[in-house]
Structure 1
Amino acid sequence: MAATKVIIAGCGIAGPVLAMFLKLKGYEPVIYERLAEPTTLGLSLSLQPNGLRVLSLIPGLLEKVAGQDLDAFALYSILPEDETLIAWSDQPTTYRELYGHPMKGVRRPAFHHTLVEHAQSQGVKIVWNHQIISLEQRDDQVVVGFADGATDVASFAVGCDGLHGNTRICLFGEENADYTGLTQTGGISPKPDFLTSKGRHPMTDLFGDGAHMIYYEVNDSQVSWALTRREPEAKETWRHIDEHMQEEFKEHGPCASWPFAGKEVAKSAERIVKYGLYDRPELKVWHKGRVALLGDAAHPTSPHLGQGANQAFEDIYHFVRLLVKHNPSAADPSTAILHAAFSEYETIRIPRASALVTGARKRGDNRVVHGVEERKKRNEKIREHWSNEAAVAEEYKQLYTQPFFGQSEI
C-alpha cells in the first residue's frame, strides 16, 4: 500500500523539519516552495534548548548543525550617564546539564541548507519554484493549485510558508500583517576583539537611547548583530540596503560611536540589511478541514525572545505526536481523525504561542525607550530583573522544559 501523501507548503526552516518527522512516521511528504532554490537571505537564529530537543529526535541531524554554543548573557548600557555593565549571567553554562542542550547561535542560510540537504538525504521530495495559490478541499483529499496552473493532490496539507505565505490566506482570507513599529538593521561581522578578550561566548545586549543592539557568535570567527529602533514602516524584504546607505550607517548611524564593540561590529559588517518587524492577528484556530498551519504561518512573531524557529519546532513536535496518537497506522486519515488531531494540537499550542508573541512585542517595546528618565527606569528594571537569579532561572525553566511533558519520543 502506498504511503499517505502530505503536501507541505514552504521549504523554509519549518517545512523540512516537519517533512523529516512525517517521513519517519510512515507518511510521504512533498514540499512545495515558491522560490527557485534555497535562500541565502536572513542573518542568524538562536537555537535554544526547547528547539534543539525537538531536532535531536531526527537521527543524524544535530551533528551536522554548525554554530557556536553561547555560554553567558551580557547586558550593557551605552548611555553617557550610565555607560556600564548592567548584568552578566552564566546561566547558559547550565543549560546542557539541565535541559540536554545548550543555546546555539547559527547562521540562518547555513542552517537552512543543512535542513534541506538532510531532508533530501532522507528521501523527502522538494519541488522548487512552485507557489501555492489555491486549496480545494474534498471529502478525502486536498487539491493544491499553483501559480503556473499545475495541481497536485494529497490526503492533507500543512502550511509552513511563513508570514507572507498563501496557505493562511486560502484558509482564512486576506488580512494585513501588523507592523510592530520597530525596524531592525543588521549584519554579519568578524568577531570583535572585545569578545575575544573575554574568552567567553556571551549573547550581548547594548541598550541606548531609543535603540537596542544584540549580537552573538554564529561560528568561531563571526557574530550576527541587529539594531532595533522605532521608525516608520520598512518592508520585511530581508534584502541588503544600497552601498551608500550602508556606508552612511557605518560612519554616522546610531551605533557609530557605541562602546562594548557596538561600533566595531556595525562598521565591519559584510553587508547590512534592514527590515520591518511584523506579526499578525491571533487566530482562534489553526486548521480548516484537511489543512493546518504551523510556525510563522500560524503565529508570526517579532524576534525579541529569540523563539520564532524554536516555537515552530515545538509546533512540529506536537503536530506529529498527535497525528501519531490519532492515526497510529499512518493510513489515509478521515477528516474526523484529522480534526481530532488538529484540534488537540491547537489546544496545546495556541495559548503558549500567543503568550510568546505578546511577550516578544512587549520586550521589543521596552528595549527602545526614549528620554533620560525612561532610559534610567529601563536600565534599573534590567538590573533588578537579572539580580534575582532564582526568578531568571525559573523563567528559562518554563521556556526550556517544553515541549515534552515528561517524555522525549513522539
Structure 2
Amino acid sequence: MQLSGQAFKVLNLLGLAEGALALALPTEHARHRSELTGRVFLDAPAGAGIRAATGWPLCGVNRAAYAQYLLDACKDRGISVHWGKKFVGLREDGELVYAKFEDGSEVQGDLLVGADGIHSTVRDTLFGKTPAEYTGLVGIAGYTPYTVTMRASPPITVEQVWGDGCHYICLPMLEDRYMWAVNMPEDAAMIEDWRTVRPATDDKVKEMLQGLPCYDWGGGVGEVIKGTTELVKFGLYLRPIAPIWHRGRSVLLGDAAHPTTPFLGQGANQATEDVYHLVRLLLAHSPLTAESINKAYTEYAAVRMDRVRRTIEQTKAEGNLRMIKGREACLEREELLARGMGTDTWKIILEMISGPFTGESEI
C-alpha cells in the first residue's frame, strides 16, 4: 500500500510518523512506459518535489506490517481491540448508541463510527443496501525477492508499464523485495477473490502467473513476475459515494462513505484525512450532545465530500485507461498518456496528498 503526506501529517500528531516511516521505503523516481512501442511517458524525479510540497515523502509499505504497527500503538495506549465480532445492527437510546453483534452482545458509546470498508454493514444499516459493482478489472499482486541480478538501486523507482489489456506497476520495498501488481480486464463470471496470500508453489498460482499477459514482457517485467513467491488476487469493485454520511449518532468514514479503487494509492490516505477532520470537528463542537454531534458530522461531510469526489473521479479515469485492449486503442491511449504525464498530472497528485491541513494543525 501507499502512504502519502496527509497520512504522515496525522500520524505525526499522534507521535507515530517516525515509526511508520521506518516501515516504508520512500519513492524517489517515477517511470511510465509502453510495452507495445517502448515509448516513455514519464521518467523523472518524484520524491523531492512531493516532499517539498507536503513536507513528507511518498512511500510504499507492507499493509500487514502497517496494520500491526497501528494495532501495537493502540495496545500501548490502552485502547481495547476486540476480535471475532460481526456487526449486525445498531440502536439509539437517549444519549447513547449501541452496536449489536452476531453473537448477541452489544457495546455502547456516545457515537458510532462505521469504518468497515466498501461492503460496509454500518452503511447498509443506516441507509439501506447499495451493492458494490464490479469494475471489470481484477488486481493480482505479488512479492518477488531480490536476486544477485535483480535488485533495486538508487534512485528508488516506481515503474508503470502499459500494455494491451494489461497494466503493470512495480515498486521496491524493504526486506529486499519488490511488490508488483497487475490490473487486467476479466469477465465477472471468472472473478476469484483470494482472501489470503498464496505461495507461488501452489499449482493454481503457477498456472495463473503463466497466463498473465505480462509474463514474458521485457525490461525486467517478466523476470519479476517469474520470481514471485507470494500472490493475491481480487476483483475490483466500486460503490457510489454515500450521499449522506451520518444519521443520529452514527457516521461513516473511509471506504464505507466513499469507496475508491486502488489505482492512485489513496484509500488509506483519504480515510486518514477523514479521521483528522472528524476528530477536529467533534472537538470544536464539544461537549457531545445530539445537536453538537449533528453539527460536527454535517461539517465533516461538507469538508470532505468535494475532495473525495475529485479523487475518485481521477481513479476511475485511471482505471478506464487500464482496461483498454487492441493495438489501435492502445496507441490512442499512448498519445493521451504522453500529453497527461506532465505538470497537470502532478498538480492532481499534489492536490490529493496535500491535506488535511497546511501550516499548523487545528488539533
State the TM-score, normalizing by the size of structure 1. Answer: 0.83
The match for 2:32 among 48, 51, 75 is 75
* Secondary structure of the structure 1 residue equivalent to 2:38: strand
Contact 1:187-1:269 at 8 Å conserved across structures: yes
Amino acid at match of 2:7: G
Deviates more, 1:279-288 or 1:234-243: 234-243
Cα offset for 1:399?
A: 2.0
In structure 1, the partner of 2:14 is: 58
Q: Does 1:213 align with 2:164?
A: no
Contact 1:195-1:201 at 8 Å conserved across structures: no
**Inter-partner Cα distance in structure 2 for 1:129 and 1:191:** 37
1:172-211 to 2 correspondences below 5 Å = 172-191=127-146, 196=151, 198-211=153-166
**Inter-partner Cα distance in structure 1 for 2:265 and 2:241:** 19
**Inter-partner Cα distance in structure 2 for 1:197 and 1:275:** 27
Cα offset for 1:334?
A: 1.2
Contact 1:91-1:393 at 8 Å conserved across structures: no
Contact 1:72-1:202 at 8 Å conserved across structures: yes
**Inter-partner Cα distance in structure 2 for 1:338 and 1:311:** 22
Amino acid at match of 1:86: F
Amino acid at match of 2:27: L
Deviates more, 1:335-344 or 1:186-195: 186-195
Q: Percent identity?
A: 30
* Secondary structure of the structure 2 residue equivalent to 1:110: helix
Q: Does 1:238 align with 2:191?
A: no
Cα offset for 1:367?
A: 2.1
Q: Does 1:279 align with 2:235?
A: no
In structure 1, the partner of 2:276 is: 317
Amino acid at match of 2:32: L
Cα offset for 1:406?
A: 4.2
Deviates more, 1:373-382 or 1:316-325: 373-382
In structure 2, the partner of 1:355 is: 310
In structure 2, the partner of 1:383 is: 338
Amino acid at match of 2:261: S
Amino acid at match of 1:402: G
Q: Does 1:395 align with 2:348?
A: yes
Q: Does 1:408 align with 2:344?
A: no
The match for 2:208 among 221, 230, 249 is 249
Amino acid at match of 1:223: Y
What is the number of residues matched between the two proteins? 358
Cα offset for 1:197?
A: 6.3
Amino acid at match of 1:70: T
Contact 2:146-2:176 at 8 Å conserved across structures: yes
Contact 1:210-1:368 at 8 Å conserved across structures: yes
Closer, same or farther: CA 133–100 of 1 in aligned 2, 3 Å? same
What stretches of structure 1 of length at least 5 have no aligned partner? 1-44
**Inter-partner Cα distance in structure 2 for 1:408 and 1:193:** 46
* Secondary structure of the structure 2 residue equivalent to 1:56: helix
State the TM-score, normalizing by the size of structure 2. Answer: 0.93
Q: Does 1:46 align with 2:19?
A: no
Q: Does 1:294 align with 2:253?
A: yes
Closer, same or farther: CA 212–193 of 1 in aligned 2, 3 Å? farther
